[in-house]
Amino acid sequence: MKKTAVLALGGNAILKVGEKGTVEEQLANTRESMKGIVGLIKEGYNLAITHGNGPQVGNFLIQQQAGISRNINPLPLSFLNAATEGTMGYMIEQSLDNRLQKENMDNKVMTVITMVEVDKNDQRFNQPSKPVGPFYTKEEAERMKETQGWHIVEDSGRGYRQVVPSPLPLNIPKANVIKGLVESGTVVIACGGGGIPYYLNEAGEIVGIDAVIDKDHASALLARVINADLFIILTGVEKVAINYNTPNQIDLDHLTVDQAKQYFEAGEFPAGSMGPKIRAAIDFIENGGSEVIITSVERIVEALKGQTGTKITL
């Protein structure tokens, strides 16, 4: 039987830092990222793809603010999460379909709009931490904080960004559907942007809630519940590093879970950058997963073969 992999594609792989965010830019970036993903399929893996939406949903939030002056009622964040699942799923699905056709491969690709259950009393709702939208200078950030009431943080030396609540994912109701599709050979795009967060009220009804679930945490949960053999987290760097972006930077080829915990607790992995990826990797391994690879989108196949990337195991 084929092995199953869950591949988490970062939102910044689709909209890169410094770009204007045009459809043409995002499509070009998405198409480029498909080369490595097709390589993974060629290596014999059934595949579920997840993706981040931090830059995209943040831009949607800015558009909502701009529309208020035109008497357009802004959409809540839960609806914007759903919108990014559709738009970004469409970009990935279209790009992957085209790439598979060029490679004379007949794999089917399907986007599944995915709701993800959270705890409405999660304390993270009181502590916004998920960076969304573009990067700002310190002066721009102060202005946004004053005029819009945004929560703003400095993001790993790259600039300042708005942050929103990011509760932990608890349950993916469509997991069995996703698992069945993946096992049939369909490439499934699911849990986009971490999924659409919701909770169940006293009547057992689904109620959307405004937050952005971290894509890596949702991906780790998906990987666990569909019994994935491999969890791949794609990011902007080729390897995990300690002393990152300093003269003493050390790239890491392999980490055990215990080593990852030690570095995490020592503050080596910032909350707005590598931190959620390491936490998600630890969660996957400690809940029965066998292997996590963290690398860049360009080096997926080489990382799979042990030629680059950072491997995390028990």
In the residue annotation, 108 being an active-site residue is answered as no
Give the bridge partners for 109, in sequence order: 187
Query: What whole-number distance in Å separates Cα of residue 57 and Cα of residue 276?
Result: 18
pTM: 0.91
Residue 11 has pLDDT above 70, yes or no: no
In the residue annotation, 53 being an active-site residue is answered as no
Residue 212 has pLDDT above 70, yes or no: yes
Residue 12 has pLDDT above 70, yes or no: no
pLDDT (tens digit, 9 = 90+) per residue, 17-32?
A: 778 888 999 999 999 8
Evaluate whether 293 touches 237 at the Cβ level (below 8 Å): no
In the residue annotation, 215 being an active-site residue is answered as yes
Out of 11, 58, 192, 275, the active site residue is 11
3-state secondary structure the chain: CCEEEEEEECHHHCCCCCCCCCHHHHHHHHHHHHHHHHHHHHCCEEEEEEECCHHHHHHHHHHHHHHHCCCCCCCCHHHHHHHHHHHHHHHHHHHHHHHHHHCCCCCCEEECCCEEECCCCCHHHHCCCEEEEEEECHHHHHHHHHHHCCEEEECCCCCEEEEECCCCCCECCCHHHHHHHHHCCCEEECCHHHCEEEEECCCCCEEECCCCCCHHHHHHHHHHHCCCCEEEEEECCCCEEECCCCCCCEEECEEEHHHHHHHHHCCCCCCCCCHHHHHHHHHHHHCCCCEEEEEEHHHHHHHHCCCCCEEEEC
For the chain, give the percent of residues with pLDDT over 90: 72
pLDDT computed for residue 270 by the predictor: 85
What number of other Cβ atoms are within 10 A of residue 194's Cβ? 34
In the residue annotation, 311 being an active-site residue is answered as no
Residue 158 has pLDDT above 90, yes or no: no
What's the rounded mean pLDDT across residues 39-48? 95
pLDDT (tens digit, 9 = 90+) per residue, 271-281?
A: 768 999 999 99
> Which range (35-39, 131-135, 223-227) has the least confidence?
131-135
Report which of 83, 90, 86, 91 is spatially closest to residue 24, judged by C-alpha positions.
91
Out of 179, 239, 277, 311, the active site residue is 277
In the residue annotation, 11 being an active-site residue is answered as yes
pLDDT computed for residue 150 by the predictor: 83
With cut-offs at 50, 70 and 90, classify the pLDDT of residue 88.
very high
pLDDT (tens digit, 9 = 90+) per residue, 116-154?
A: 999 999 999 999 988 887 788 889 888 888 887 888 988
Evaluate whether 194 touches 53 at the Cβ level (below 8 Å): yes
Q: What sign results for the dihedral spanned by CA atoms 155, 29, 90, 108?
A: negative
Residue 228 has pLDDT above 70, yes or no: yes
Q: Where are the domains of the chain?
A: 3-116+170-196+210-313
Report which of 8, 84, 41, 102 is spatially closest to residue 297, judged by C-alpha positions.
8
Evaluate whether 89 touches 195 at the Cβ level (below 8 Å): no
CATH architecture of 3-116+170-196+210-313: 3-Layer(aba) Sandwich (3.40)
Please give the mean pLDDT across all residues of the chain.
92
For the chain, give the percent of residues with pLDDT over 70: 99
Out of 10, 12, 29, 195, the active site residue is 12
> Which range (65-69, 108-112, 239-243) has the least confidence?
65-69
Out of 174, 179, 215, 311, the active site residue is 215
pLDDT computed for residue 207 by the predictor: 97
Query: What whole-number distance in Å separates Cα of residue 97 and Cα of residue 137?
Result: 38
* Per-residue buried b or exposed e for 274-313, using 16+ beta carbons within 10 Å of the residue's own CB: bbbbbbbbbbbbeeebebbbbbbbbbbbbbbeeebbbbbe
pLDDT (tens digit, 9 = 90+) per residue, 242-268?
A: 999 999 999 999 999 999 999 999 999
